[in-house]
A and B are shown apart, each in its own frame.
Chain A
């Protein structure tokens, strides 16, 4: 399916958010995810089914002030 991941269009073979993170080699307990502007808790990613052209944000901690 085609997704918009962190603002960039990408083709990824995944049907759930957890599958997508695995397919793209994202790992770690520090990631935050949102789909189409809504938070998806880390514990809900395995059951969260993705649709064509879903907008996915994957964030992680960064230096900030």
Chain B
């Protein structure tokens, strides 16, 4: 079981709820992924609009835990206020904290992230910070009270997969006891399996599922890949070698001369 703050979950896949072809496909993807946690956002509601209500009801029907996010926030003040508003709506102390610092790469503003994390942890939130693979920033986030870290493996929505395996492995090795969730950049189930093989605890996906030709089927494929990667990590996979090594014993080989 994976423990995130005071909650234990069986599934190691967290799923975003954006950009699905339809609410029905979102619901089916959630079901087949077996996820227990979905991320949601808050946006301005139009006058007389009821869009938020319909989505709120859909999420309620999915029977999963909600991890609200501060997606699209570019300042500490904006992120902190959005987090407080999300807590008021969803009645959870969980918050996926995003403070975006760069328009093109959607790279987090790590300075603002640490500051916002400190404020929110002080106000009783349980913060899931979307961060880079920088060890020093991660240390600061832990000092700020975070008990979960969510490094990216590539820019949001890029589907590039793990761009810097060395950094991700170092991150894992440096924080052996902190739940680590890869957030952003995964494109394929093989990417998810790879980061789980590095020893990560979970993967958060959105575009890789919602943008696929068949979201519900790939959601299931991701769930299987994550499980396979997790099993493989525990089984200590063979390290690569530079030379060939015969797998069949040489001793006892027949000699036909």
Q: Enumerate chain A interface residues (CB-CB to B < 8 A).
A: 5-7, 24-26, 28, 30-34, 37-39, 41-42, 57-65
Contacts and interface: CB of A to CB of B under 8 A. Distances in A.
A32 B42 contact: yes
B19 A63 contact: yes
Nearest to A43: B88
A60 B51 contact: yes
B85 A64 contact: no
B77 interface: yes
A63 B20 contact: yes
Contacts of A42: 88
B85 to A, nearest CB: 4
A57 B44 contact: yes
Contacts of B104: none
A31 B49 CA distance: 11
Contacts of B88: 32, 39, 41-42
A59 B43 contact: yes
Nearest to B47: A24
A7 B43 CA distance: 12
Contacts of A25: 47-48
B69 A64 contact: yes
Interface residues of B, number: 40
B44 A59 contact: yes
Contacts of A34: 81, 84-85
Interface string B83-111: 01110111000000000000000000000
A64 B53 contact: no
A62 B42 contact: yes
Given A25-B47, A31-B52, 18 more contacts: A7-B44, A28-B50, A28-B56, A32-B85, A37-B77, A39-B81, A39-B85, A39-B88, A58-B44, A59-B85, A60-B45, A60-B49, A60-B89, A61-B52, A62-B40, A64-B42, A65-B16, A65-B39
Contacts of B146: none
A5 to B, nearest CB: 8
A50 B49 CA distance: 22
Contacts of A30: 52-53, 56, 89
A28 B46 CA distance: 13
Contacts of B29: none
